[in-house]
Chains A and B, each alone.
Chain A
Amino acid sequence: ILNVEQSPQSLHVQEGDSTNFTCSFPSSNFYALHWYRWETAKSPEALFVMTLNGDEKKKGRISATLNTKEGYSYLYIKGSQPEDSATYLCAFDSYQTGANNLFFGTGTRLTVIP
Chain B
Amino acid sequence: KAGVTQTPRYLIKTRGQQVTLSCSPISGHRSVSWYQQTPGQGLQFLFEYFSETQRNKGNFPGRFSGRQFSNSRSEMNVSTLELGDSALYLCASSLGQGESLVETQYFGPGTRLLVL
Residues of A within 8 A of B (CB): 1, 4, 31-32, 34, 36, 41-46, 49, 51, 89, 91, 93, 97-107
Contacts and interface: CB of A to CB of B under 8 A. Distances in A.
Pick the most buried of A1, A43, A45, A91: most chain B CB atoms within 10 A of its CB: A43
Contacts of A44: 90, 107
A32 B103 CA distance: 9
Interface in B26-75: 31, 33, 35, 40-45, 48, 50, 55-56, 58-59
Contacts of B106: 43, 46
Contacts of A97: 56
Nearest to A98: B56
Contact of B33 (A32, A41, A100): A100
B99 A99 contact: yes
A36 B107 CA distance: 10
